[in-house]
Chains A and B, each alone.
Chain A
């Protein structure tokens, strides 16, 4: 079963506009969420994270929003730049013995056009 889902396989945005990437999860035990960015032939790189005790975390152009009641999180990139074009994965983890294990979504390919 897919516990973390990214329902949009791809997203195309104009440079300077906002990019919004969405992620849904089903496991209520998840309490820590992360976004990773991946370029071709490279490993994913950490972008931003949020704990379940917060509903928003901001880092420069990147903001992650968490809606626990809806089991939904989103990543906003403002303004979008061509260098942001990559695959974006959301991931989740739960405290306890499984805390080190990240469950990833399928990824969303973001293309930012100049």
Chain B
């Protein structure tokens, strides 16, 4: 595809349920990132994957959050036992790679998944 795609575009769930959010990065991009934007806030880094290296999970807010990247391509962000404070737009981005080269750090974002926890 031409850009980063995410599914679903909207997700409404009940408190306590688990949710899975999917991200398809741009073909050939080795780096993949997850962010979230809560109402009135900036983008908050969650996790990033770079090639076969161990992911940087430093932004995950709790152990209810986890993410996987299968085959170096598609990624799934899982939130277990959702809470109302998890309501936000979850954004995925990909880039060619992470390196000292300036251009490699340009991240291309998907449209996001709007998660609402009732």
Give the residues from 73 to 118 in chain B that come closer than 8 angstroms, CB to CB, to chain A: 91, 93, 95, 98-100, 102, 105-112
In whole angstroms, how far apart are the Cα atoms of A78 and B89 in the complex? Answer: 31
Chain B interface size band reads 20 to 34
Alpha-carbon gap, A34 to B5, bound state (A): 22
Query: B residues within 8 Å of A by Cβ?
Result: 4, 31, 33, 35, 40-45, 48, 50, 56, 58-59, 91, 93, 95, 98-100, 102, 105-112
Which of A46, A93, A106 lies in contact with B42, CB distance below 8 A? A106
Task: Give chain B nearest CB distance to A39 CB in angstroms.
Answer: 10
A interface residues with partner B (beta carbon < 8 Å): 4, 6, 32, 34, 36, 41-46, 49, 51, 89, 91, 93, 95, 97-107
Q: Complex Cα distance A51/B103, Å?
A: 10
